[in-house]
Structure 1
Amino acid sequence: MGFELSIILAYAFGLILLYIVGWVLLVPLKFIIRLIWNGVIGGVLLFLVNLVGAAWGIGIVINPITAIVAGFLGVPGVILLLLLQYIL
């Protein structure tokens, strides 16, 4: 009852195919999780900047554009918005 080479190759091909399909599905999942994480951090940071910055007259108007920038970029996005507000 020895294994035939075709059976071993079929199992190997199946494992490789399973690995490729898992990798293709995992990469977008990591991107989506990272995007959600940046969005949450950016939103919380916008809220904190408006809350704490009110004492010094610093605030970022929360509109769709600032929410998108803070959501995609996270902390660097909020810093960018503060710098743009200071420059403009």
Structure 2
Amino acid sequence: MDPILVISIIGGLIILLLIFGTPLKPLRFIGQGIIKIVIGALFLFFLNVIGSNFGIHVPINFITATISGLLGLPGVAALTVIQLWIL
């Protein structure tokens, strides 16, 4: 696609959103969910960096990032226990 066409479409969408507004509740909910998943992935990354000295490795994928993001540090601990004792 032509870059001018893409920029025009994005600009038009921004103008439409400014005129009509956006439904804030669903966007806020989706945004918070995405932020929690990213934070969960960072938790797992730091666990893998620190845990590499102890032989701990939990794979980082959508499911594990969601679990650790929604549950926080107890979720990371649960994933670590599952990785060590069950798998």
Q: Scaled by the length of structure 1, what TM-score is found?
A: 0.55
Deviations, residues 21-52 of structure 1 (Å, cap 9, x unaligned)? x8x92221221121111011111111111101
Q: Sort the Cα spacing of 1:83 and 1:36 in 2 relative to 1 into closer, same or farther, 3 A.
A: same
Q: How many residues align?
A: 65
Deviations, residues 39-83 of structure 1 (Å, cap 9, x unaligned)? 111111111111010011111023454244345x26243233123
- Which residue in the other structure is 1:80 paired with? 78
Report the identity percentage: 43
- Which residue in the other structure is 2:43 paired with? 45
Q: Which runs of 5+ in 2 are unaligned?
A: 1-20
Q: Counterparts of 1:31 and 1:58 in 2: how far apart (Å)? A: 33
State the Cα distance separating 1:84 from its structure 2 match. 1.9
The RMSD of aligned alpha carbons is: 2.6
Moved segments of 4+, more than 6 Å: none
Larger Rg: 1
Structure 1 counterpart of 2:46, one-letter code: L
